[in-house]
A and B are shown apart, each in its own frame.
Chain A
Amino acid sequence: MLELLKQPWPWYISGAAIAFIMILLLVYGKSFGVSANLRTLCTIAGAGKKVKFFDFDWKTQKWNLLFLLGSILGGVVASTLLKSDEPLQLSAATISDLKELGIAFDGGLNPSQLFGPDFITSPKGFLILLIGGILVGFGARYAGGCTSGHAISGLSNLQIPSLVAVVGFFIGGLIMTHFILPLIF
Chain B
Amino acid sequence: MKGLKFIIAGLLFGIIMAKSEAISWYRIQEMFRFQSFHMYGIIGAAVVLGVVAVYLIKKFKIRDIQGNVIAFQDKDRTWPRYIIGGTIFGLGWALTGACPGPMFVNVGYGYWAMLVVIFGALMGTYFYGLLKDKIPH
Contacts and interface: CB of A to CB of B under 8 A. Distances in A.
A is bound by B: yes
Interface of A: 5, 8-9, 11-19, 21-31, 34-35, 37-39, 41-42, 45, 47, 51-54, 62-64, 66-79, 82, 84, 88, 90-91, 93-94, 97-98, 105, 109-111, 114-117, 119-120, 126, 128-144, 146-148, 150-162, 164-178, 180-181, 184
A119 to B, nearest CB: 7
Contacts of A93: 33, 35
Q: Which of B26, B51, B64 has the most CB of A within 10 A?
A: B26
Given A71-B17, A139-B124, A144-B85, A133 B116 contact: yes
B82 A164 contact: yes
Main secondary structure of the interface of A (DSSP, over half): helix
Contacts of A157: 54, 72, 74
A66 B64 CA distance: 19
A45 to B, nearest CB: 8
Nearest to A9: B19
13 contacts: A11-B39, A67-B10, A76-B108, A82-B15, A90-B26, A90-B30, A109-B24, A120-B116, A133-B103, A140-B85, A157-B54, A165-B85, A173-B31
A91 B30 contact: yes
Contacts of A114: 25, 113
Interface residues of B, number: 112
Contact of B95 (A19, A24, A26, A181): A181
Contacts of B19: 5, 8-9, 14, 78, 82, 84
Contacts of A41: 122, 125
Nearest to B20: A14
Given A18-B46, A109-B21, A51 B10 contact: no
